[in-house]
Structures are given as structure tokens and as C-alpha cells.
Amino acid sequence: MSRTTKEKNVSMSSKNVIKEAIVRHLHCSLGTDENKANNHAWWKATCASVQEHVLEGLRKTQKSHYFNDTRAVHYFSAEFLMGRLMSNNLHNLGLFEHTDQALKELGVNLTDIMEEEPDMALGNGGLGRLAACFIDSLATLDLPAVGYGLHYEHGLFRQEIKNGEQIERPDSWRDYGNPWEICRPESIQEISLFGYVETKYGENGKIQKEWHPGMIVKGLPWDIPVVGYGGKTVNVLRLWQSQASRYFNWDVFNAGGYVDAQKENVQAETISKVLYPNDETEAGKELRLIQQYFFSSCSLKDIIRRYKRAHGDDWSAFSAQVVIQLNDTHPAIAIPELMRILLDRAELDWDSAWAISTKTFAYTNHTLLPEALEKWPARMIEKILPRHLEIIYEINHRFMAQVEQVWPGDDKVKQKLSIIEEGDEKMVRMGNLSVIGSFAVNGVAEIHSALVKKNLFPEFDKMWPEKLTNVTNGITPRRWLKACNPKLSSLISEKIGDDWPLHLEKLNELSQHADNLKFQKQFMKIKHENKVDLAKEVLALTGIKINPKAIFDVQIKRLHEYKRQHLNLLHIMALYRRLLENPDYQMQPRVFLFGAKAAPGYKLAKDIIYAINQVAEKINNDKRVNDKIKVVFLPNYRVSLAEKMIPAADVSEQISTAGKEASGTGNMKLSLNGALTVGTLDGANIEIAEEVGDENIFIFGLTVDEVHQLDEKGYKPFDYYYQNSEIKAVLDWLETDYFTPGKPGALASIKRSLLEGGDPYKVLADFESYSAAQSLVDKAYGDKSAWAKMAILNTARMGKFTSDRSIQDYVQKIWKLDKCVVE
Ligand SMILES: *Cc1c(COP(=O)(O)O)cnc(C)c1O
């Protein structure tokens, strides 16, 4: 048999096997048949047939990891923003084409049934999506890894827009069952809360501490298999659900502790009920701290159980076998928790316990924004975790002695470095605890890591010059190019072969075709087709008709002042005003597309969403602008919506105030799909500019140093208001009822935020420069060939930003892990 015939036969049989499996599940798992089944049933049956392959891979992987007793990384994250899994699992298993064919023969459209899957939205934004990209890369690179997090019953709220305003609705991603997850009651853990600590004197006068908890809660693990590209390694994401246990301590009840707990109405089941919807703000709520401790403690105990299976009570190999990466400070309470287990349970002495602990943890810092740096009232920790507060004090006491060695008699530096912030209310700084308790600390882009060293933790850097480092974020090209942009993926594979999803730097071979007119046409034809698809989606979702020939200008990310959606909006209003003043004003037709959720308690962010929608309503219905501008706010921005918007984007808005965006990953996804960035020199934009070249990106605005200088001399927003008549006109427009008929002043809060109290985000300072950059974009789009070349070079030069490279950086600099190839 010739090679191709053989391949055809393999492919035939594999397709037929899939077809047979789907039908079998339709009959035997779902109790329906081909005639009765709706899309939801087809989706479930297809999931079940894919899951057969997934579970086989999982079994082999676990066997392999067990027999090799490998060192593994444990990625602790309060958020995993996974999105949908069907398309990803099919692509990573190499079954997408066959499944598509099999379903076609059954009269079913794979794309349609994939729409039945609810997003797993167990995260807010970038931080949670990063965790999801990382576990994809870990499995793809055959690295032993477990993701640990919370099994929220309700993920991030669903956003509806009513009369221009955001309404939050509960997200119920498991309403009809989730076909990917496996319940593991055999691995339940119990965790303690509240109560008091008893000091006892053991043999030879040794002090022993015993925590008498007031409440015990059960943690039930759910495993979500994580399939690596190529389908060899299948790791797990283990998410903990809280459950009530029968335990009730009458001692503690009588002592008052449990009564307190009841008053606060912390019931076991509420712990994993909801994801806190705050992005870049600490919640400061008791339940949030309990969530953090609950999943950290369950995960640690799970790790220790597995370690003991191989090593018994010998702790000497623990830090050689186990590394734990803390995704931000959310799981930082794991540090005193491991210390507690080593001291009170394993009965190690302090120095031995601390040596193990500080060789186990590494910490990723995600932000410099003061409002996002977690601090907990010491009294709150004392009430919920009394033993942990003692341990934190002891860690701090010993650390202060170290500081005294380096800066003798310097109380200022001690105040600054202390885990405890003194004041009206004593607070525990989780960032300081994380740096002190970890062997490595990383920022998430070069500029951000430099600022962590220079501004956030300079003294820590002096004490431990090797500890602080950088690992620039990345994204998985499997989801963010191969799966979401199938047409472009095929074109790329035709040109350079099909192994680019594993070796993204190979995209650079496209550069040599960037000047080729035929290739430019092919590339831009696909972009156009993707825009036609998105235009249909926009019409279906909002009723707004948009022109696929217009520039699709996209800003998609959480709504936050530092991300400056309002800068984009002010510029749109300025363009609109220019068109009204001069009907001959020359510009390429442009569609401004937004997607963004605001934290429910963030008033100004919600006002900005309202303003975008009101301005959109006015402009989209104004015949005078002759369809030169359209503004679309797509509700309920989430991973599955991102996957539809990104392949259709011409322009990517990455316009945060310099120094405020740690990295960004949306910037990477858009550029990878051939969108040109309009961006500040902030976060990973700087590294994107380095890669694509200054001629293929539109950089504008103040630099980090210039923002700093402006702060030094005092930022005066009224200067810009009075000196730039366009700024003044646009801001004053917000105060009229032009965009909010009958409701003058409904948008005034935005104007106030930009002028009064100094605006830490410096919107007006960057307006002119932004507007100039946008004029260059407009001009550039007029030259189709030049634009195509720039778009191609963006895709071609994004190799650095694969999350595989990020993971390899972590392995080299921090984790020191070896591959474990699964047979
Ligand atoms: C990538 C992604 C983000 C992060 O976007 P940034 O622009 O980096 O803030 C947020 N939400 C979703 C759904 C994403 O896919």
C-alpha cells in the first residue's frame, strides 16, 4: 500500500471510530437518538467521545509520573479562565478534522454544537487566562504539573446591557453538568477554621502548639484533564469545592468562637459559591480570605499525601520533589500553612521547617497598583486562622533580625519591610510575606520586573540580589491562533509547514513573504472573511450593521481607568465632532469595537460603559457622519467572544498609562492574529515593539519616566483642558444631554475624573499624542499593500510570546524541572 493510501485508510477508520463513539454516547449515555437529538445532546455526546481519549491519556500520564516519582510544579491560582474546552481538546488530540467529518456525515455542524458549551469563566481577566495558557503549555512540554484552584459554583458574572448600562447576572456554567470534570470523593480533604491555640509543654520541656478549630470544612476535588498539544501528556487541573462536615466543637462553641463564626454566617458551602469579580482591587472580605486558605490548604495537603506515599515521614526530599508557584499573593497563606504542618504536625524545628518552606515556594507579582496589593487585618487572620497569625509573627520577628544585620538601627527600613503594617488597624502585607517566604519572585514583563525591583521591593532586591527576576508572559498559540483562526492557520501551514504551534518562532519564516503581493492578498482576504463573520455576529448580538471594509479597531479587556477605555472614547467623540464640523473631513471608515466587564462596585468603570453605549447609540444613528464611524459595545466579553473578535481585528488598542499595566496578554493575541497595535510604552507592548519593529506598531504617549517626572512637577489637567480646544469641547460635551437626551450630566462623572483631583491615569496628557497616532493609523490603512505587510510582520514576529517560552523560562530560572515523556 502506498503511504498516502495507508494514511487515508487510517483517517477513514479514525473518522468512523469517532462517528461510532458519538452515536454510542447519544444512545447509551444520553438516552436519545440521531433523530431526536438537539445541538446540546450532540455536543454532550461528542464531548463524551472525546473524553474517552482524554481519560486514556490521563491514565497513562499519571502512571508514568507515579513510576518515575518526578519533581513537579504545582501552580496555585485563585483563578483559571479556561473558556470552552471542546475545540481545544480536539485540536490538541489531533482529532479536529476527523470529528468535523464524522459529524458532517451525521448531518451535524461541529461549529454549531461548539456554541452549546458554556465558558468555564473561573477567572476575571488576564491573571486567570495566564494560568489557563500556562497549564496548556506545561502539558504540551511534557512537564509534570498540577493546577490547583477553586471550583466556583458561579464564575464571573454574565454581563447584560440594558439601556446602555451593565447588569450583572449569575453565571451558571454547570447547570446541565460539565462533561469534562471528574469528581474525586476518594481524595477529599478536611480543613480547619476559627477556634483557638493551646500551648502545651511536651517531653523535655519543648513547647507544642495545638490548634483547636471551631469549624471543619470538607474540600471535594474535581479534576479537569489538561491535554497537551500532540495528546501525549494529560495533566490535571484540580479544583476544590467546599462542603459541610458534621464536625462541631462544643468546647469552642462554649468559648465563643463558633458563635462568632455563625454570626458572620460563614457556612461551609458558601466558601466556593462565587468568584469575587474584582480585577486589580483587593476585596478585604472575610469570605475571600477563607476561600484563599481553603484552596491553599486543600492543595498542600493533597501534595503532602502524594509525597508521603513515596517518602513516608522523611521530609528531606520534599523541596526537591515539590515546587509551588503562587499566582499573585492570593494563595500566599500557603506559606504559613506549610510551616504549621511542618512544625505542629511533623514536629520539625523552626529552622528545618523554614529551610524546606523557602525552597518550595516561588511567587509571581502581577501588579504595582497599591489598591491591588493584598493586606489583611491581623485581627481577621487571628479569628479565622489563629495559629497562622502566630507563625506569621514569628516569621516576621526572625526576618526583622536579618534586616537589623543589613541596616543596623534603621527603623524606617524595618517599618517598610515588615510583614506587619502598624497603624490604627494592624495589617498583614501578603506581598512582603510572599517575597520573604519564596526562593524566587518574578514580574511578568521586562519593564514591570524592573519596576518591581526599583520601586516596589528595592530593599528586598538589595538583601537577595538573585531572588527578583523576570518571566515575560505568553499565550498559547493553539487556542489563540490555530483553533480560533483556522483559515489563517491553514495559510501559515501551507507556507511554512504545520509545526509552528509547537515552535512559534518559525512564524518568522513568513517575513520573507511579507512583500509578496500574492501572499499579502491571501493574508488580507482571510482577515476580510474573518471580519465578515464578526460582522454577522455583531448584527446578531446587537442589531448593529457594520461594514467589513472599515477598519476594525478593537479594545477588549477588563474595564479599568488605568486601561483607559475613556481615552479611546474621547478620541471617538473628537472624530465625530470633526466630521460634524467638516463633512468633508477625510478618514477611513472605522468601526470601534469594545468588550469589557466592570467590577460591580466600580462606579466610574460602569459609568464609562454607559458612556460608550450612549455615544455609540448617537453616532450609529447619525446619518450625517455617513457611516464613517460605528461604535459597538459587545456585551459579556469572555474567552469565547475574544476568540471571535481577535481574528477580525485590524487595530489593537493597548493604551494603558505607562507603568500601570504589568504585561497584558490581549496585546499578544491580537498582534499574533495580524492586528497592528496602537499602544503606550507599557508592559509587554515594549517587548512587542522590539520584536515587530518600530515601523510596524503605533507607539504614543508618555513613557514611564515622563509619567514620573509629570508627577514630580505636579500634573495639571486643567492646562490641557484650556490649551486644547478639542479636549475642552469634547469634555464639555459630556456635560450636556447630547448623548443622554433628557438627562444632562449623566456622563459628567467622566469629565470630573479627568479634571478634578489630578487623575492618576493622565488621560488628557496623552490625548494629543494618541490622536496623532490614530491619524497615522488612518493614513497607513489607505495603503493596502503597506498595511498588509505590517500585518504579516506582526504575525511573523510574535514567536517570543508563546506561553511555551514563558514556561521554559520558569523551568530554567525557577522550577528546574525535567520532562517526563509519556509512552
Ligand atoms: C486575554 C484575556 C484578557 C486579558 O486581556 P488584557 O488586554 O491583557 O487585559 C482578559 N479577558 C479575557 C477573556 C482574555 O481572553
Per-residue pLDDT of 399-437, as tens digits, reads: 999 999 999 999 999 999 999 999 999 999 999 999 999
Closest residue (by CA) to atom 9 of ligand 1?
Answer: 557
Is any ligand 1 atom within 6 A of the Cβ of residue 130? no
Q: Of these residues, 479, 558, 564, 805, which one is catalytic? A: 558
- Closest by alpha carbon to 328, among 556, 601, 598, 126? 126
Cα–Cα distance measured from residue 798 to residue 744, given in angstroms and rounded to the nearest whole number: 46
Predicted pLDDT of residue 334: 99
Q: Could you tell me which residues come within 8 angstroms of residue 736 by beta carbon, excluding any fewer than 6 positions away? A: 744
Q: Of these residues, 154, 563, 606, 751, which one is catalytic? A: 563
Q: Which of 124, 129, 554, 644 to mutate to test the pocket of ligand 1 (most atoms within 8 A of CB)?
A: 129
Burial 372-410 (b: 16+ CB within 10 A, else e): bbbbbebebbbbbbbbbbbbbeebbeebeeebeeebeee
Q: Could you tell me which residues come within 8 angstroms of residue 512 by beta carbon, excluding any fewer than 6 positions away? A: none
Q: Could you please report the per-residue DSSP string of 249-277? A: -HHHHHHTHHHHHHHTT--GGGTTTB---
**Is residue 438's pLDDT more than 90?**
yes
Mean pLDDT of 751-779: 98
CATH topology of domain 544-801: Rossmann fold (3.40.50)
- Note if 557 is an active site residue: yes
**Is residue 442's pLDDT more than 50?**
yes
Q: Is 142 left (phi over 0), alpha (psi -120 to 50) or beta?
A: left
Domains of the chain by residue range: 1-68+85-118, 69-83+119-473+808-815, 544-801
Q: Show the cell assigned to 375.
A: 493586606
Is any ligand 1 atom within 6 A of the Cβ of residue 665? yes
The pTM is what?
Answer: 0.96
Q: Show the cell assigned to 40.
A: 446540546
- Closest by alpha carbon to 595, among 700, 670, 491, 513? 670
Under the banding of pLDDT at 50, 70 and 90, the label for residue 233 is very high
Predicted pLDDT of residue 767: 98
Is-contact 805 503, C-beta < 8 A?
no
Query: Which letter does DSSP use for residue 407 in this model?
Result: S
Neighbours of 170 (CB within 10 A): 10
Amino acid at 562: Y
Predicted pLDDT of residue 610: 98
Query: Which letter does DSSP use for residue 455 in this model?
Result: I
Beta strands, E only, 566-694: 590-595, 629-633, 651-654, 676-679
CA dist list (Å): 643 to 146, 478, 483, 634: 26, 12, 9, 13
Cα–Cα distance measured from residue 499 to residue 397, given in angstroms and rounded to the nearest whole number: 54
Closest residue (by CA) to atom 15 of ligand 1?
Answer: 639
Residue with cell string 514563558: 806
- Note if 487 is an active site residue: no
Predicted pLDDT of residue 267: 82
Predicted pLDDT of residue 266: 52
Return the percentage of the chain with pLDDT > 90, whole number. Answer: 94
Predicted pLDDT of residue 245: 84
In this structure, what are the phi and psi dihedrals at residue 433, rounded to the nearest 5 degrees?
Answer: -55, -40
Q: Could you tell me which residues come within 8 angstroms of residue 543 by beta carbon, excluding any fewer than 6 positions away? A: none
12-21, 47-56, 77-86, 340-349: which range is least confident on average? 12-21
Burial 749-776 (b: 16+ CB within 10 A, else e): bbbebbbeeebebbbbbbbbebbebbee
- Note if 209 is an active site residue: no
CA of 414 to the centre of ligand 1 (A): 38
Atom of ligand 1 nearest to the CA of 637: 13
pLDDT in tens, 113-170: 999 999 999 999 999 999 999 999 999 999 999 999 999 999 999 999 999 999 999 9
- Closest by alpha carbon to 388, among 338, 436, 434, 423? 338
Predicted pLDDT of residue 252: 54
Burial 248-275 (b: 16+ CB within 10 A, else e): ebeebeeeebbeebeeeebebeebbebb
Predicted pLDDT of residue 1: 40
Q: Which of 134, 367, 557 to mutate to test the pocket of ligand 1 (most atoms within 8 A of CB)?
A: 557
Q: Could you tell me which residues come within 8 angstroms of residue 488 by beta carbon, excluding any fewer than 6 positions away? A: 481, 523, 526, 527, 530, 647, 673, 674, 795
Amino acid at 225: P
Is any ligand 1 atom within 6 A of the Cβ of residue 366? no
Separate counts of helices (H) and strands (E) for the chain: 33, 25
Under the banding of pLDDT at 50, 70 and 90, the label for residue 312 is very high
Under the banding of pLDDT at 50, 70 and 90, the label for residue 264 is very low
In this structure, what are the phi and psi dihedrals at residue 73, rounded to the nearest 5 degrees?
Answer: -95, 140
Is any ligand 1 atom within 6 A of the Cβ of residue 84? no
Predicted pLDDT of residue 283: 84
- Give the mean pLDDT of the chain: 95
Helix (H) or strand (E) holding 339: helix 334-340
CA of 42 to the centre of ligand 1 (A): 30
Q: Of these residues, 330, 669, 751, 797, which one is catalytic? A: 669
pLDDT in tens, 805-819: 999 999 999 999 999
Is-contact 286 264, C-beta < 8 A?
yes
By residue count, the chain amounts to 823
Task: Let me know if domain 69-83+119-473+808-815 sits in CATH 3.40.640.10.
Answer: no
Is-contact 175 218, C-beta < 8 A?
no
CA of 472 to the centre of ligand 1 (A): 15
69-83+119-473+808-815 and 544-801: identical CATH topology: yes
Is any ligand 1 atom within 6 A of the Cβ of residue 560? no
**Is residue 258's pLDDT more than 60?**
no
Under the banding of pLDDT at 50, 70 and 90, the label for residue 643 is very high
Task: Note the Cα 112 to chain centre separation in Å.
Answer: 26
- Note if 366 is an active site residue: yes
6-15, 124-133, 338-347, 811-820: which range is least confident on average? 6-15
**Is residue 330's pLDDT more than 80?**
yes
Closest residue (by CA) to atom 3 of ligand 1?
Answer: 126
Cα–Cα distance measured from residue 316 to residue 311, given in angstroms and rounded to the nearest whole number: 9
**Is residue 12's pLDDT more than 90?**
no
3-state helix, strand, coil in the chain (%, to 5): 55, 15, 30
Mean pLDDT of 466-476: 98
Residue with cell string 483559571: 80
Cα–Cα distance measured from residue 321 to residue 818, given in angstroms and rounded to the nearest whole number: 11
Residue with cell string 515539590: 322
Q: Helix or strand or coil: residue 810?
A: helix
Q: Show the cell assigned to 695.
A: 515601523
Atom of ligand 1 nearest to the CA of 663: 8
- Closest by alpha carbon to 289, among 399, 371, 194, 188? 194
Cα–Cα distance measured from residue 724 to residue 772, given in angstroms and rounded to the nearest whole number: 14
Closest residue (by CA) to atom 8 of ligand 1?
Answer: 664
Q: Show the cell assigned to 579.
A: 466630521
Is any ligand 1 atom within 6 A of the Cβ of residue 126? yes
Burial 294-329 (b: 16+ CB within 10 A, else e): bbbbbbbbbbbebbeeeeeeebeebbebbbbbbbbb
Q: Of these residues, 61, 99, 665, 680, which one is catalytic? A: 665
- Note if 506 is an active site residue: no
Q: Is 328 left (phi over 0), alpha (psi -120 to 50) or beta?
A: left
Q: Of these residues, 387, 479, 557, 560, which one is catalytic? A: 557
Cα–Cα distance measured from residue 91 to residue 227, given in angstroms and rounded to the nearest whole number: 10
Question: In this structure, is the dihedral angle defined by the CA atoms of residues 110, 115, 121 and 125, taken in order, positive or negative?
Answer: positive
Is-contact 727 719, C-beta < 8 A?
no
Mean pLDDT of 495-515: 98
Q: Could you tell me which residues come within 8 angstroms of residue 146 by beta carbon, excluding any fewer than 6 positions away? A: 72, 73, 74, 75, 235, 236, 237, 238, 303
- Note if 91 is an active site residue: no
Q: Helix or strand or coil: residue 659?
A: coil
Neighbouring C-alpha atoms within 13 Å toward the C-beta of 494: 10
**Is residue 766's pLDDT more than 80?**
yes
Neighbouring C-alpha atoms within 13 Å toward the C-beta of 522: 16
Query: Which letter does DSSP use for residue 341 in this model?
Result: I
Atom of ligand 1 nearest to the CA of 126: 4
Is any ligand 1 atom within 6 A of the Cβ of residue 128? no
Longest dimension (CA), the chain: 92
**Is residue 11's pLDDT more than 90?**
no
- Closest by alpha carbon to 806, among 476, 507, 557? 476
